[in-house]
Amino acid sequence: MGDFRHPRIFPAAVSTLRIPAGFPWRRPTFVVGALLAAFAYRDLLLFEPRRAIPDPLERMLFEPADTTPALIVAFALWLLWRRRERWRALPAGPGPLVLTLPLLAAGAAILVWARLTEAHDLLVFSLLAAALGVASIWKGAAGIRLLLLPVLFLLFALPLPPAFANGLIFRFQLWTAEIVGRLLYLFAMPARVVGETILRSDFTFSVVEGCSGLRSVVTLSMLAVLMVDLFRRHGLHAALLVLAAPFVAFALNAVRAIALIANPLSTLAEVHIAQGVAILLCGLIALYALDGVLARLIPPRAASPAAPVARVPVVRGLGVATLVFLCALAGLSALVAPWISRDPVPLGLAYRFAHPIGGWLATPLESDRLFLGSVTFRDSVFLRYQRDGDSVDLFLGIGDRGQRFLSPLSRKTERLGSGWIIEERARTSLGAGEPEVDALIERSPTRRVLVYHWVDGSAGPLPEALRSLLALDATPWAQLRDPLVVRLATEIGGLGAEDRQRAEARLRRFLSDVRSDLDKLLRDMDHFSTHTRRKGFS
């Protein structure tokens, strides 16, 4: 039979009626699944490791070890949305069980661990594994490959372990001070760099943690990944652009530090924030220019002809399996109760060490809190002891393993404050059966001192960082005692060997007198930790 449809009503381009693909339950299933996922990972969306800077915009720009999980999740969802057509074109069908089940199990297990330890940042790993597992349910290995970049982008929401972050931040401070000092010399503004401090005849500028540049490096690296995906860069072009982002960010941060020095209004919060936003925009412009240069130097990969995107029939059982898994995650997030611990007993360091010790009279000193920055203690004391014309400075700082995003471990605790450099470093023993400690010669523009420094109750920054990353100190398997940082310092009268020997003898005499008080402090810390830091189920 012929086709008797009127051409004006039924044009030739639409010769047949199209029936919408998919099932009526497809959109409700997606909405329900999204709500279940949002409920299961609600703590990640609201997570903030700490709020050292009260203003949210300033914290986003300058807090060196902070993260913004909600914003990063939004960017990851944007990356997913850009892949929607390619996702629809993939053939539907679950991947092998040996691939799918471990991913789903890992997602659920990490979520349970994060709930037990209240380590909400670890939900990033759970979400990563769960998302790849769901991708395998629907599209198999091809779906995992397609979603790998959006899912791995979530790692930007993971904060650095504090023991590692403290060392990295301080290193960035020193690098920034060094490059700023060199740039000032090039601009005919000679300055002297002492540690993280820049000295000139008319001012002293300290590179604080917010000016270290670490946050700029992380932010611009994240934006470089988004730019690579937006412009569909691949291979060497994409790798060079992402690798260049940290160097561009660090160089521009040095420029911002010079602007802070040159601008007398930089102390105002509004000006400080405006400078941070301007530097970030300059970083984006620099990356965009570099992308254009790379596009000219590196020929783009020949694009294969785009295949027509066809809607693949949806298997009803896949949606049911996904909803069952998401329901399980939501249920676990609601039912799993965290382990709880009692608050640590105050140790009263100021009271313990304020009295005369072996004839040494104590005078309180102020710690350089601006210099210490993110290096924190639950209790600390800084005292100067004097006897018969001799003087020794004692610093004690106790960490708190209950505060997972704070750590007392840092090279900063070796120094008396801002503007000190280490001339010499060695290891020395304090006596038979005693562990070795760091013996350092430190110098400031006006003083030169001998320092003994050690940390009692800690295996070192790397093991502490691993324990913090896994939240082991929020479990029944936590290390019992908090770390104790000890620093002794005394003046070196001159540059001769005899001056140093007298300083060493002075430190050892004082340590012999204060040893009993230190031992009693350690015994009390062991006792209180054993009886008050036990874990249980809430």
pLDDT in tens, 203-213: 788 888 888 88
Residue 259 in this model has a pLDDT that exceeds 60: yes
Amino acid identity at 408? P
Residue 157 neighbours by CB under 8 Å, 6+ apart: 44, 47, 67, 68, 69, 72, 73, 121, 124
Specify the pTM. Answer: 0.85
Angle at 43 between CA 40 and CA 48, to 5 degrees: 155
pLDDT in tens, 48-70: 776 555 555 555 555 666 678 88
Rounded to the nearest 10 degrees, how much is the dihedral formed by the CA atoms of 231, 217, 80, 324?
Answer: 170
CA distance 333 to 121: 14
Q: Are 481 and 526 in contact (CB under 8 A)?
A: yes
Q: Which residue has the tokens 């709500």?
A: 35
> Two tokens at 9?
């009503």
pLDDT of residue 535: 45
Q: Lowest mean pLDDT: which of 238-252, 337-351, 453-467, 524-538? A: 524-538
User: Given pLDDT bands bounded at 50, 70 and 90, which one contains residue 239?
Assistant: very high
pLDDT in tens, 132-153: 999 999 999 999 999 999 999 9
> Two tokens at 330?
């939501």
CA distance 244 to 287: 8
Q: Lowest mean pLDDT: which of 179-188, 334-343, 386-395, 450-459? A: 334-343
Residue 313 in this model has a pLDDT that exceeds 70: no
> Two tokens at 343?
């608050």
Residue 315 neighbours by CB under 8 Å, 6+ apart: 92, 93
Residue by residue, DSSP assigns 354-421 as SS-BTTBEEEE----HHHHTTB--SEEEEEEEEETTEEEEEEEEE--TT-TT-B--SGGGGSSSTT-E
pLDDT of residue 213: 87
Which region, left, alpha or beta, applies to residue 22 given φ > 0 means left and ψ of -120 to 50 means alpha?
left
CA distance 259 to 180: 10
Q: Are 75 and 153 in contact (CB under 8 A)?
A: yes
